[in-house]
Amino acid sequence: MISLLKNVNLYNPNPMGIKDVLVAGGKIADIFDVSDNGHHNIPDNWPVEVIDFNGAYLVPGFIDSHAHITGGGGEAGFSTQVPPVSLSEFTQVGVTTVVGLLGTDDTTRSIANLISKVYGLREEGMSAYCWTGGYHYPLTTLMGSAKADITFLEPVIGIGEFAISDHRSSQPTFEEVIKLASEAHVAGLLTGKAGIIHFHLGDGERRLELIERAISETEIPARVFNPTHVNRNKPLFEDSCKLLAHGCYIDITAFPEGTAEPGLEACDAIEIAVKKGLPLDKITVSSDGGGCLPCFDQQGELQHMDFGRASTLLETLQATLRKNIALESILPMFTSNVATLLRLHSKGKIVRNNDADMLVLNNKFEITDVMIKGRWHKRDNTTVVSGTFE
């Protein structure tokens, strides 16, 4: 498929003005200034699909670095295991690349099952990767160690989500944490992959103590330590913001509306970061799609539960824009910042030779079209590609 997307208001994710974008072979072949004739020297015999978007926004596809693609949950019995997430639950809301993981249940779920789901999503047309391990130490792995999984299994890019400051964690020691961080870092050096450890943060009073100590007492680079759910309570978010000065990336969770208490809605956390003048290029946003979002009392008893949905990424973007924060300040948190952290070099930006993963947004910032690697998955508000069993 060769497509010419005409008259798009391009954010790459920086604002570039009205452009024409040529897509060929699943890649962004060229980006043109709008000209009078509009042909851009494209041969007349090329079978080009030409679409005039009349000034609609064209932005990079979302990269969701934290999703339970095989289903999460199970913390209130086997009947509370969340089902696997289907293709369109990601693609129709703008997620063009996803990174899957295991959480609390790294016993009945396995890395083998996780990787097979990654391959399945790839066969259905989207880009997918995964973390190895889960909440607990020793890690759940396929090849006996995290280092081996990252080195020899192409979809595996790091360790995650490894739980700290949470009653569901394995209560890891400092020595165990830095051993895993070292494995992730060295495997990343060997392979060119992300090589990071993606930390689940609970509501425990120790918060980021293990990460802070690792940064100050070891030679492991700060970027290796990547905490998520940092907006789950206000003191944790305040401490997490301090990590940015050391070179850490922090990951805000786009909780479903009304479920963030006692923490911060993702849009509010982003607003605080903008107003404080924090390094926004070190902040990412993920959905926890397919994951269980339980609320426990002081004794660890489940009070109520919800589950994560990839749609919260778009909802967060829209809610943050309503706070009069510029689109170019927000978009990188869903796109280029994630790609940089994860070393996904052909993702996250609309530039020549990158993968053609792009979203078209109308003037209400609703997604009307989704393209993944040059193929339409959603076109003019209609689903074009569905998962095998949808």
pLDDT tens per residue across span 336-356: 999 999 999 999 999 999 999
Per-residue pLDDT tens over the stretch 137-186: 999 999 999 999 999 999 999 999 999 999 999 999 999 999 999 999 99
* Dist. CA 288–CA 144, nearest whole Å: 26
State the chain's mean pLDDT as an integer: 95
Is 229 annotated for ligand binding? Answer: yes
Is 68 annotated for ligand binding? Answer: yes
| Positions of CATH 3.20.20.140 in the chain | 61-342
* Dist. CA 277–CA 132, nearest whole Å: 34
* Dist. CA 140–CA 142, nearest whole Å: 7
Is 185 annotated for ligand binding? Answer: no
Which pLDDT score is estimated for 1? 79
pTM over 0.85: yes
* pLDDT at residue 280 is higher than 60: yes
61-342: CATH topology is: TIM Barrel (3.20.20)
Point out the catalytic residue in the list 106, 149, 288, 355.
Answer: 288
Q: Helix 266-275 vs helix 234-243: angle between axes, to the nearest 10 degrees?
A: 50
| Positions of CATH 2.30.40.10 in the chain | 2-59+349-383
* pLDDT at residue 130 is higher than 90: yes
288 is catalytic: yes
Domain 2-59+349-383 has what CATH class? Answer: mainly beta
Is 246 annotated for ligand binding? Answer: no
